[in-house]
Structure 1
Amino acid sequence: MIPIRGFEGRKVAVFGLGRTGLTAARALVAGGAQVALWDDGEKGRAEAQAEGLALTDLNTADWSDFAALMLSPGVPLTHPKPHWTVDRAKASGVEILGDIELFARTLALVPEHKRPKVAAITGTNGKSTTTALLGHVCRMAGRDTRIGGNIGFGVLGLPDMHGGAVYVLELSSYQLDLTSSLKPDAAVLLNISPDHLDRHGGMEGYVNSKKRILLNQVKGDTAVIGVDDEWCQRICTEITAANRRTIRPISASKSMGRGVYALQGVLYDATGERVMTVADLLRARSLPGRHNWQNAAAAYAAARALGIPAEEAAEGLMTFPGLAHRMETVGQIGRVRFINDSKATNADAARQAMSSYPNFYWIGGGQPKAGGIEALADLFPRINKAYLIGEGADEFGRTLEGKASYVKTGTLEAATAAAYADAAASGEDAVVLLSPACASFDQFSDFEQRGDAFRAAVEGLVRPAARGARA
């Protein structure tokens, strides 16, 4: 745990008692703060009480007593409308912040010789893979590496700081909205495409949230920015003109005079006096496809910014074991392979997986995002058949009508069984791909639970198949 500094003896309101809120509450108490905890749901309040943490009904509390409101990132700050705690905090002049900001303020109070290195990663797609990949590279290079934020552990639940540590943090747009003073040694902005627009009031608000990762960098810090989309390309141009830090553009689609880029699976470093070949990513089994080449370029550039030698960074890329729920092979029955890409919660993320296979049996649907899957129309010819689940089934069916064969199966388990039956009947090597292009909240608590349910459904198919083979 990282005890929070700067709030000793002061009272901090904590709203939202999921993983982030409870972790922040523990860290605040460990640092000497007094906490007032509340959640609109009975489940969150019960979990806090089960840990022996006292509750304070923030509906009736005196907000003038609070030094700050620690808001969990899932709670609306501005859109579709501010949560009632946000209105109460603003009315009382109480500062609103998140767990990453608490981390940043504690970091700023650490003496320079004891201060760890920090890499922060964001983007619409690929941030979890890049975070895990950079963490793996750092560990393979012998660094004391802590990985967290929007992936795995909440940042404040990671081990305490020391001068030799490296924190590799995935940051969502929700977390960045609540962060104002973080100054990462390496800030990574992978890409931007429309997502979470309801929470940010439109595309401009979403882009501005992502840009906050670069907010406080100064000379000596490094910004790693993907330039394969128009929004990030514009941001890269803007901060290059500001000339305050080292800029490392990255690309998976073009060569560049400076930066790190991948062409046809070969990674190049053009940050020095000559272009250097880094690695043949076609040999990296856990990094298939152009989107993963961008992730590899970003992780390599960030690793170099953290002081890891080029040879060690390249070796780390090649030994990466992969990330759960992102193009993860979870089973094979005969000639049918099952790919878990539950992390693909929007169309752009699903495109990355769908582009990696010439044809597949596709499981899609869930809680649809704005725009649905219309942007994937060029990939519909690759779909042997689609199996549609959840709230998005009707909408996706209308989009696929006349363009790809589909059936509405309702549940993930039924979709998996139906897809396997059709794939096995083809008599050919086949891929069953779960890449939903939707949020999971209509049927699951998160994409991880959805991916685990897919794995369980595949295992349920494997057992009868194994019994049949023995018979």
Structure 2
Amino acid sequence: MIPVTCFKGQKLALFGLGGSGLITAKALVAGGARVTVWDDAPKRISAAEAEGLPAEDLRDFDWEGVSALVLAPGVPLTHPEPHWIVKLAIEHGVEIIGDIELFCRERRHVGSDAKLIAITGTNGKSTTTALITHLLKTLGQDVQMGGNIGVPVLALEPLADHRIYVVECSSYQIDLAPSLDPAVGVLLNLSPDHLDRHGNMESYAAIKERLVAGAKIAVVGVDDDLSAQIAGRQDLASMPVWRIAAENPVSQGIYLEGTELKQAAAGETRSVANLSDIDTLRGAHNGQNAAAAFAALRALDLPEAEIAEAFESFPGLHHRMELVAKTGHILFVNDSKATNADAAARALSSFDRIYWIAGGKPKSGGIEPLNAFFPKIAKAYLIGEAAEIFAETLKDHAPLAMSGTLENAVKAAAKDAAKDSRGEVAVLLSPACASFDQFANFELRGEAFAKAVRALPIVNQSKEVA
């Protein structure tokens, strides 16, 4: 844990006692702050009290002399309307911040030379965060990974000058971090997301931009117009910018061409890494992630040849284009995290011939946006509540089976894929749906897929199980 000493002796209010909120409260207490906590959920309040944290309904709190309200990122700050605790803090003129801001203030307060690499974007944040962490570890660096990827930033090992902190930042977290100042700030891409929490696309993009605007060196994806405009504003501010792209070459930065990462600088272009044999970095979207990771490490002056070699051992993230097994010409890929069509598109674009397992609890829009990928589908195996809706969309485009359950779908897809003689094929779980009809979350769905795959006789007999 990182004790937060920059508020030592000061009076603070903290609202939101989920995973990050509870850790944040403990870190503040460990640093000597006087913290009073609260939550809308009574069970969380009880859990905090069991940890020895003083709890009080902040509607009845004495706000005199409060230095800050520390807010959990899941609590609405502005839209659809400010939470009651936010309104209360504003009424009393109290600053509202989050755990990422506390980390940044503490780093400055103790004068630490620890480097922060902060990553944001609409898509690819977690993979890029994990990839940067993997590369740094492989190159022998002392690295800590946290933030939106699942480990609260203040739960990481204490600040040390030699450490590098790789932190995934959601728009909610950035909104609560006014002095976010990474050594390297990475903005991957921007597309409509969380607009219910930010009001409109312009506000959402402006919040994301803060992460790179405060960085010493910015790494910015330029495949979408909004991000390209942000890169241009960084140039105008005379800030160092590494542009990255997966769709088109750039004149200054790192871009993907085929399966090669290329660096363009001073009018010259050269290949710096080849991703062709790395199953965990398939697809243009992973090419962008790899370009961002390469640029981030080069921004820290780490050797490019060693970075390129370290890509080869990247294991990928669970449930995100995760290679569960490879046997003969068949890849078994767990992309359970693809809970909507946009996410599934990234997986479908990465393979040429697909035995597609899809369905679950449907989301608005269905799979109509995936029409361009239907020619790649050798056969679809439909499960869950969305099966009939998806069947109606697919019926004139690809063979399909109403499998009902994930286990049935895996068995049938594997049997059909084994008979396919057209080269490499993928048995792909990329549901384009939420999991809640049959599984409590996408993680359990992905684990069920992996279990079913590993139980297959053709996989049991293979030595290539991942």
What's the TM-score, normalizing by structure 2? Answer: 0.88
1:374-413 aligned within 5 A: 374-383=368-377, 384-389=379-384, 396=390, 399-400=393-394, 402-404=396-398
Aligned to 1:295: 289
2:189 to 185, 188, 191: 191
Q: CA deviation digits over 1:255-313, x for unaligned, max 9?
A: 22211112011111223574332111102232111111111111010001112122222
How far is the alpha carbon of 1:119 from its aligned partner? 0.8
Aligned to 1:342: 336
Matched, 1:269 2:279: no
Structure 1 stretches of at least 4 aligned residues deviating more than 6 Å after TM superposition:
332-335, 407-410, 463-467
Listed as ranges, the gaps of 5+ residues in structure 2 are 462-466
Q: Is the 8 A contact 1:336 1:424 kept in 2?
A: no
Q: Is the 8 A contact 1:333 1:462 kept in 2?
A: no
Aligned to 1:52: 52
Q: Is the 8 A contact 2:274 2:308 kept in 1?
A: no
Report SS of the residue matched to 1:194. Answer: coil
Q: Is the 8 A contact 1:266 1:280 kept in 2?
A: yes
Aligned to 1:20: 20
How far is the alpha carbon of 1:213 from its aligned partner? 0.9
Aligned to 2:409: 418
In structure 1, what is the Cα distance between the partners aligned to 2:414 and 2:163?
48
How far is the alpha carbon of 1:59 from its aligned partner? 3.6
How far is the alpha carbon of 1:205 from its aligned partner? 2.4
Amino acid at match of 2:249: S
Listed as ranges, the gaps of 5+ residues in structure 1 are none
Q: CA deviation digits over 1:415-471, x for unaligned, max 9?
A: 342343254146425533222334556766654344334334545x4489969xxxx
Q: CA deviation digits over 1:351-402, x for unaligned, max 9?
A: 1111112233333445666644332221133332142435x66765665464
Q: Is the 8 A contact 1:325 1:342 kept in 2?
A: yes
Q: CA deviation digits over 1:42-80, x for unaligned, max 9?
A: 342343244333322224323345322221112222222
Deviates further, 61-70 or 141-150: 61-70
In structure 2, what is the Cα distance between the partners aligned to 1:236 and 1:73?
26
Matched, 1:247 2:241: yes
In structure 2, what is the Cα distance between the partners aligned to 1:394 and 1:204?
37
Deviates further, 97-106 or 316-325: 316-325
In structure 2, what is the Cα distance between the partners aligned to 1:45 and 1:348?
37
Taking a change above 3 Å as real, the CA distance of residues 124 and 370 of structure 1, as seen in their structure-2 partners, is farther
Report SS of the residue matched to 1:303. Answer: helix
Aligned to 1:31: 31
Deviates further, 399-408 or 194-203: 399-408
Q: Is the 8 A contact 1:135 1:168 kept in 2?
A: yes
Report SS of the residue matched to 1:63. Answer: coil
Amino acid at match of 2:429: L
2:178 to 177, 180, 198: 180
Matched, 1:433 2:437: no
Taking a change above 3 Å as real, the CA distance of residues 67 and 143 of structure 1, as seen in their structure-2 partners, is same
Report SS of the residue matched to 1:338. Answer: strand
Taking a change above 3 Å as real, the CA distance of residues 281 and 337 of structure 1, as seen in their structure-2 partners, is closer
In structure 2, what is the Cα distance between the partners aligned to 1:48 and 1:408?
47
Matched, 1:225 2:216: no
Matched, 1:323 2:323: no
Q: Percent of aligned pairs with the same residue?
A: 50
Aligned to 2:252: 258
Aligned to 2:92: 92
Taking a change above 3 Å as real, the CA distance of residues 365 and 296 of structure 1, as seen in their structure-2 partners, is same
Aligned to 2:464: none
Taking a change above 3 Å as real, the CA distance of residues 348 and 83 of structure 1, as seen in their structure-2 partners, is same
Matched, 1:448 2:443: yes
1:363 to 354, 357, 368: 357
Aligned to 1:131: 129
Matched, 1:235 2:226: no
Taking a change above 3 Å as real, the CA distance of residues 11 and 389 of structure 1, as seen in their structure-2 partners, is farther
Taking a change above 3 Å as real, the CA distance of residues 85 and 272 of structure 1, as seen in their structure-2 partners, is same
Amino acid at match of 1:433: L
Amino acid at match of 2:68: A
Aligned to 1:72: 72
In structure 2, what is the Cα distance between the partners aligned to 1:81 and 1:140?
45
Q: Is the 8 A contact 2:382 2:391 kept in 1?
A: no
1:162 to 134, 137, 160: 160
How far is the alpha carbon of 1:120 from its aligned partner? 0.7
